[in-house]
Amino acid sequence: MIVTKYVPATDTEGAKVKAVVEGGTPSITLPWRGSTDSLSNHKRAAVALRNIIAPQTVMACYVGTTRVFWLIGKPNIIVGETEQ
């Protein structure tokens, strides 16, 4: 599972979005795009990390109150079919 979280701006750096694999590593942090909606920013970070760790998989999304959770897996498992 990948979890994404908004990282607020500081006095010296702009806002970011961080994606991390459950367990803490690996992770990726990208600049927040103000011209893009929140979910698109979270998805961009999740896809970037997914492309590093498991590029041939698909993702499903669950939006929590403070984080967005991305489940990754084989395409036939995500849509509910049995693994062959």
Integer angstrom CA distances of residue 72 from 13, 36, 64, 69, 75: 30, 23, 17, 10, 9
Q: Considering Cα of 62, then 10, then 47, then 2, what sign does the dihedral take?
A: negative
pLDDT of res. 74 = 66
Report residue 8 CA to chain centroid gap: 17
- Contact assessment for residue 18 and residue 24, using Cβ atoms and an 8 Å cutoff: no
Q: Which residues of the chain have pLDDT under 70?
A: 74-84
> What is the domain partition of the chain in residue ranges?
2-78
Enter the pTM of the model: 0.77
